Structure 1
């Protein structure tokens, strides 16, 4: 059962990071292995989505519920698919001096022993690649090295 928790301070506001993570419809544009995503419903506080992920000829689809608490948290709860369970949480908190602290946790296990074994072997590498994809996406959307303070001003974090 792979589980990972990580905290990073990024040069973007909590609102910006919340908006990026909560915009699940765009995941196929930048997240590796996300082949397709269909929103069944989407509101200010909750979305239900079906996602197809693929890796080296393997494809699986699953459904999840995304809980949104603007601008501080996004959590994902598993509905249906090839997993035994899936829990994913993002917490966003303004950081001193600008930017925000991003707290990320994912915990999951597959029903299939084959997928579980594959996930165990690839988990760290895949996770690093996905976290890097979110950071790259933030840089593309909001500009690398820039932060928005809680008052909404743009501030440079370099020197």
Structure 2
């Protein structure tokens, strides 16, 4: 991507920031409507989780039930879900480097206060994860990610088992169950369309233990997910060479 195109893209994102209900918000829909992106359609359903407002925050991971047939194999009975696909003007390798750098999430992901990764040895202690090693490429990396998310005075911490599969262009995370939720699984899949264009598929499936938190997540997941994806887009612009 040329430097002039990067500057134009950066200005477009900066100019897309607006005030919404008294809160600063940059959503993927606003960027799309600016004419910069040729994005595929969004299928509502359920990364960095929380209490009250935290129940709707997670950068690894509503609206209505997920109706995307391609994601049904990852859902459990009772799960809610959210899926979204978008085409971005960056190479697959560049976008993959942003999504897979979990340790840096605290620097740019909304509401992520702290992100820490642990060794593959620690990750191997959680064989109950539905993420099967034989489903990943031979060179896929596996580790635990401990994320702390917060909003105001509210804060929540959870740990996910993460598989980073560069060959398949996938980053999949499944949270270790906590009293807050029974299940939380997110995935990013990046497919190259051309040297400087990629399709990004984002999925998150979850089941909260508390029905109140589940209702909160349903009401706000689309907006929160759009803000999160927008943060990854801006990060891609900032780190483009």
TM-score per shorter chain, which class? 0.7 to 0.9
The 5 Å alignment of 1:58-77 reads 58-71=154-167, 72-77=169-174
Structure 1 stretch displaced more, 9-18 or 89-98: 89-98
TM score, norm. by length of structure 2: 0.55
1:8 positional shift: 1.1
Between the two proteins, the alignment pairs up a number of residues equal to 143
- Whether 1:34 aligns to 2:132 is no
For 1:42 and 1:29, how far apart are their aligned partners in 2? 23
Report the Cα offset of residue 68 of structure 1.
0.9
Partners of 2:238 and 2:194 in 1: CA distance: 23
Give 1:124's aligned residue.
222
Deviations 1:107-150 (A, max 9, x none): 1122123322322222121111111111111111116xxxxxxx
User: Secondary structure in 2 aligned to 1:142?
Assistant: coil
| Residues 113-122 or 124-133, more deviating | 113-122
CA contact under 8 A between 2:172 and 2:186: conserved in structure 1?
yes
Partner-residue secondary structure (3-state), 2:117? strand
**Higher helix proportion (structure 1 or 2):** 2
Encode CA deviations 1:37-68: one digit per residue, 9 max, x unaligned.
22122696112011111124321111101101
| Long gaps (5+) in structure 2 | 1-78, 122-139
Please name the residue that 2:100 is paired with. 22
RMSD: 1.9
Which structure is larger by alpha-carbon Rg, 1 or 2?
2
TM-score, L = length of structure 1: 0.81
Instruction: Give structure 1 regions of 4+ aligned residues with deviation exceeding 3 angstroms.
Output: none
Corresponding residue for residue 78 of structure 1: 175
SS of structure 1 residue aligned to 2:176: strand
Tell me, what secondary structure is at the counterpart of 1:5? strand
Higher strand share: 1
Report the Cα offset of residue 32 of structure 1.
0.7
Structure 1, unmatched stretches of 5+, are 144-159
Using the alignment, how far apart are the partners of 1:114 and 1:52 within structure 2? 21
> Displacement, 1:19?
0.8
